[in-house]
Structures are given as C-alpha cells and as structure tokens.
Amino acid sequence: MFKDLDPILHSQLRLSIVSILMSIHEANFNFIKDETKATSGNLSIQIKKLQDVGYIKVRKTFKNNYPNTSLSITKKGIEAFESYVNSLKNYINPK
C-alpha cells in the first residue's frame, strides 16, 4: 500500500547528515559531528554508506596541514531525500 521507505535514509544518523546537507552548501566533518553529536567512528561509517550509494560527495583536502573532510549532497541524494519525505507524508496522511 505504501511506498517503501529508503533503508539508507531510514536511520537517524544518516537522515540527520542528509538533512543538514540539504540546508547547507558544504559542511566539514567536525561541523556534522557537532550538530549530530555522534562519535567520529560511527559518523565515518554512516558517511561511507551515504557516499557508497552516491547520496553525498566527500572531498578530502588539507587545511593548514590538517586533514579536512568536506561533505555535500549530490543530485541523487536530493532526489532520494525528496522521495523519502514524500513517502513519509504518505505514511502519515494516506489518501
């Protein structure tokens, strides 16, 4: 009856990461860590999962000799997020 919810997005931490990236042009790892209050290890794992399915783009650079990981959402990620939100709406208010 309902469209299945995207299992990649239906996880609190991954959904938080994508939600943050939906409102920000680009964010670095520490910013996401502060916002989600997740541990570095867990965050890295979830970021990898989102990157593997092509929902987010990860850019690794060096800033003042320190590694800097920047994340941004991809077109595929935006589409998946929109579709996920629409599915949620259908679950909450089925026609």
Partner 1 sequence: MGKTNFTPEESLLLILKTIEQTKNRFKESGHIFVYWGTLTLIVFGSQLILSLLELYKFTMWPVYLFPLSAFYMIYIWIREKKKNLPKTYIENVLGNLGWIFGMNLMIMGFFCSDKLGDAMAPVFIILFALFIVVCGLSIKFKPLIIGGILTNLIGLGSFFIERNYHGYSIMLMAVVGLIIPGILLNIARRKDHV
* Contact set with partner 1 (CB under 8 A): 5, 7, 10-13, 15-16, 19-20, 22-28, 31, 35-38, 42, 46, 63, 68, 85, 87-89, 91-92
Residues 6+ apart with CB under 8 A from 62: 68
Task: Report in angstroms how near the CB of residue 1 gets to partner 1 at its nearest.
Answer: 13
Q: To the nearest whole angstrom, how small is the minimum distance from the Cβ of residue 15 to partner 1?
A: 6
Pair 73, 52: CB distance under 8 Å: no
Nearer to partner 1, 10 or 76 (CB): 10
**Minimum CB distance to partner 1 smaller for 52 or for 68:** 68
Distance CA 63, CA 84 (A): 35
Cα–Cα dist 90/95, whole Å? 7
**Shortest separation between residue 20's beta carbon and partner 1, angstroms:** 5
46 or 77: CB nearest partner 1: 46
Contact 81, 51 (CB under 8 A): no
